[in-house]
Amino acid sequence: MKEFFKEYQVIGDEETGRAMEFAVKQALSNLPEFTDKFQKAYSEKNFYQPTENVDWTTGFWTGELWLAYEYALENKELFEDGAAEKLKRAAEVQMDSFLYRIDNKIEVDHHDMGFLYSPSCVAGYKLIGSKVGKEAAVKAADQLLTRYHPVGEFLQAWGAMDAPENYRLIIDCLNNLPLLYWASGVTGDSKYRDIAEKHIHTAISNVIRDDYSTWHTFFFDMETGAPDHGATCQGYRDGSAWARGQAWGVYGLATAYKYTKKEEYIPLFEKVTEYFLNHLPQDLVPFWDLEFTDGDDQPRDSSSASIAACGMLEMSRYLPEEEAAYYITIAKKIMKSVYDNYAVKDKTQSNGLVLHSTYSNHSPYNTCNHYGVDECNIWGDYFYMEALMRLHKDWNQYW
């Protein structure tokens, strides 16, 4: 453990409770504007604007409503009368929208079906047995299978399936795969799980570099399926470690282990996590690329901190006691800093939950557009709540 980790405080139960209480109240006060519409992927001057259900990110808003519902149901005395019921009704309206979206194939020709449908519709099925949620999520899993390339054995992230410039996977996709495992579970059809397992193997064999930093994206030869080369899209440069990519790797390896129980994924989880931790600045919340650290005039990506904390908390469920305690302690220290230094504490400041995230920061060496820099983003808010929920109780995951 880095020296400064030892000195850092852990988030306590009382603060975790206070943070969840604020998050639930924030969700409740957002309902009038964000029930028929969704919060956009990123805020503008720290305030989210409404959007239709069209981006890859809208499931996180519904996921926040479900997390808020769970907490409000357990802690009725903290909230207005009927709070849990109101949150549930709003999430149900949104599940209808997700069913409509998949039935009408609205912006679903990409791999992010898991990010869209796990925290919204799988959650609704698990929490209240929603038939709409189940139908929509199974259809979304079918849609995800259409992104599979038998030549190369991976799920293609973006773009036309027959274009060589799109013949690649991205590290983020590991967190889309729980949808496929869930679909095999509810349908009894192993085809979803079989493809998830092939993708996991291909992804993990290629995106992790020798020093356990990770490629954001990895290309394959269209004719032979042979691994070709790694490249970044949202990181600073090809050879650097995009902070959120590394965080997706931490959480993705934990979920890969959860579903496959392959022992060889444990040391990979440990090393990829170690790389992430060793490149954190003093306050434990990364800059947008792990190339940068204290003293660099660069934006943070607070969402990466919460994503990695969720991954460590997930993996702690499967590790021996002492190692599990190590990762829980680290996750609590990271969340203490997110809560103290980044979380919104007053709704006049923002209608979101966590400030200082970075969605897509253009650099001279990357290929992404420039937006959502040093703002709230919707998955940063969602994974902040998920991490708090995991610290609050033995949580039945949506993933």
Residues 167-196 that bind ligand GLY (CB under 6 A): 172
Closer to ligand GLY at the Cβ: 206 or 234?
234
375 binds ligand GLY (CB under 6 A): no
Residues 220-239 that bind ligand GLY (CB under 6 A): 234
- The catalytically annotated residue of 36, 109, 162, 172 is 172
Other Cβ atoms less than 10 A from the Cβ of 342: the count is: 22
Minimum CB separation from ligand GLY for residue 88, in Å? 28
- Is residue 296 annotated as a catalytic residue, yes or no? no
* # residues contacting ligand GLY (CB under 6 A): 4
Closer to ligand GLY at the Cβ: 172 or 375?
172
Token pair belonging to 180:
């496929």
Q: Write a three-state SS string for 61-102.
A: HHHHHHHHHHHHHHCHHHCCCCHHHHHHHHHHHHHHHHHHHH
Closer to ligand GLY at the Cβ: 69 or 383?
383
Residue facing ligand GLY at closest CB distance: 172
Alpha-carbon distances, residue 37 vs 34, 47, 54, 101, 186 (angstroms) = 5, 15, 10, 13, 29
Q: Provide the pairing of β-strand 38-39 with 50-51.
A: antiparallel
Residues 36-65 that bind ligand GLY (CB under 6 A): none
Which residues, at least 6 apart from 228, have a Cβ–Cβ distance to it below 8 Å? 218, 219, 220, 221
Q: Is 263 exposed, middle or buried (0-12, 13-18, 19+ CB in 10 A)?
A: exposed
- Is residue 172 annotated as a catalytic residue, yes or no? yes
Closer to ligand GLY at the Cβ: 174 or 388?
174
Minimum CB separation from ligand GLY for residue 156, in Å? 14
Token pair belonging to 379:
């998955």
216 binds ligand GLY (CB under 6 A): no
Minimum CB separation from ligand GLY for residue 79, in Å? 31
Task: Give the residue among 37, 31, 33, 43 at the shortest CA–CA distance from 58.
Answer: 37
Closer to ligand GLY at the Cβ: 118 or 234?
234
Minimum CB separation from ligand GLY for residue 357, in Å? 10
Residues 78-137 that bind ligand GLY (CB under 6 A): none
End-to-end Cα spacing for the chain? 29
Per the CB < 8 A criterion, the answer to whether 87 and 32 are in contact is no
Minimum CB separation from ligand GLY for residue 298, in Å? 17
Beta bridge partners of 214: 208
Residues 310-369 that bind ligand GLY (CB under 6 A): 359
Minimum CB separation from ligand GLY for residue 385, in Å? 17
- The catalytically annotated residue of 36, 109, 112, 297 is 112
Which residues, at least 6 apart from 271, have a Cβ–Cβ distance to it below 8 Å? 208, 212
Per the CB < 8 A criterion, the answer to whether 366 and 308 are in contact is no
244 binds ligand GLY (CB under 6 A): yes
Closer to ligand GLY at the Cβ: 102 or 116?
116
Residues engaged in binding ligand GLY (CB under 6 A): 172, 234, 244, 359
Q: Catalytic residues, which ones?
A: 112, 172
